[in-house]
Amino acid sequence: MPSPVSAGLLVFRRAGAGVEFLLAHPGGPFWKNRDDGAWTIPKGLVDDGEPGRAAALREFEEEVGQGVAGDLVALSPLKQKAGKVILAWLVEADLDLSAVSSNTFELEWPRGSGRTARFPEIDRVAYLAPDAALVKILPGQAGFIHEALARLGIRR
């Protein structure tokens, strides 16, 4: 059985002489009290037969509630510890974060209660300077930040 594949966007905006990256904090009870090392690029599973780039654009809009337009630059895929492969594209966009709205998921909560609760897939997003982004992002996705900085010609 092939490894699952997710696709997402690493959005950046110019800030002074540098850049900031848009990262998302996962919603739901499992992530509520986690911060450093818990943030992610907005991403999701690629459907069967769906091009990765199309999935990245779709997932970003579903999770952030806004689309992006611009030149998408493919970053090197990253394989996670559990085997999932993440495809990512770098794109410049300065989004209005006050207009963010995420799709939701249902989960039995509390566990074993028999009750179902609805949670946002993403509970907040933020533009972060590179050093802060590297602290916040899941360790298995930090390579996207490093590659983006190199491609943008920015030294840390």
Is residue 18's pLDDT more than 70?
yes
| Predicted pLDDT at 66 | 95
CATH number of 5-151: 3.90.79.10
Name the nearest CA neighbour of 93 among 22, 26, 152.
22
- How many residues are present in the chain? 156
Phi-psi bin for 90: left (phi > 0), alpha (psi -120 to 50), beta? Answer: beta
Residues 136 and 36 sit within 8 Å (Cβ to Cβ) = yes
pLDDT digits (tens, 9 = 90+) for 8-17: 999 999 998 8
Name the nearest CA neighbour of 23 among 4, 3, 33, 37.
37
Beta strands in the chain (DSSP E): 5-15, 18-26, 43-45, 73-74, 78-79, 85-92, 104-108, 116-120, 122-128
| Predicted pLDDT at 140 | 97
Instruction: Provide mean pLDDT across the span 113-128.
Output: 94
How many CA atoms within 13 Å lie on the side-chain side of 16? 5
**Distance separating alpha carbons of residues 76 and 99, to the nearest angstrom:** 30
> Please, what is the average pLDDT of the chain?
94
Name the nearest CA neighbour of 70 among 133, 9, 145.
9
Q: What's the pTM value of the predicted model, to 2 decimals?
A: 0.94
